[in-house]
Amino acid sequence: MTDLPRTSEPSLEQLTARLGVEISPDALRHALTHSTWAYENSGPNNERLEFLGDAVLGQSITAMLYRRFPDLAEGELAKRRAAVVSTHALAAVAQSIDLGSYLLLGKGEERTDGRNKPSLLADALEAVIGVVFLECGSDSADQLVTRLLGDIVDDPSTFDAAADPKTSLQELLAARSLPPPRYVVTDDGPDHQKTFDASVYVDHPKYSPHPVGRGQGSSKKHAEIEAARASLTFLSG
């Protein structure tokens, strides 16, 4: 017998109210379905919605920054955008609306506290933005992004510099006249539950041939972020 979703209809109504959008329960449930739950229950997962939501979020934040900060140079706008859409920031926003409680996770993720993993929370938030875009249109998606992330856009220093460790690492290496970081990523596991391992190399006699940092994540992007974070710790030590 197929396990029933952990999320109940009243809970979805509460989440819908927190999001401030009118969206069907089935569509919202799709956005909350992790690949592990989908695999175990032979259903669709939220990865395509996450892909869409990432693009919608990026465009919305870019436009918001452009309008709110007419005097900022392109480089500063890019830094601020990176901080706002980082896993660290998105996970914090997801936690603020208790998104983790609504996730549909496979047994393995449930056992390893998947509801509190920053990468899963950030991915789910992007998927929710994606499904709002599909169901309600671009204006509603923009309004949702503004409600959830508008305060961060105004003051991204709320999140520490490590919120965008890849940029911070590149800037640190440049300041030391070292070459940019080189990322090597491998993956392991079945398609529905791949794990990505990233290593960061600095092609300089002082550090070669060993990596200066390693990281692991549920996607290449997240593994590289964790590897960059570890590299910053190592190089700053």
**Positions marked active-site:** 54, 126
Q: How far is CA 32 from the centre of its chain?
A: 14
Buried b (16+ CB within 10 A) or exposed e, 197-208: bbbbbbeeeebe
Alpha carbon 39 to chain centroid distance? 21
CB atoms within 10 A of CB 50: 22
**Pair 130, 50: CB distance under 8 Å:** yes
Which helix (H) or strand (E) segment holds residue 147: the answer is helix 138-154
The answer to whether the bond into 209 is cis (omega within 30° of 0) is yes
Contact call for residues 140 and 132 (beta carbons, < 8 A): yes
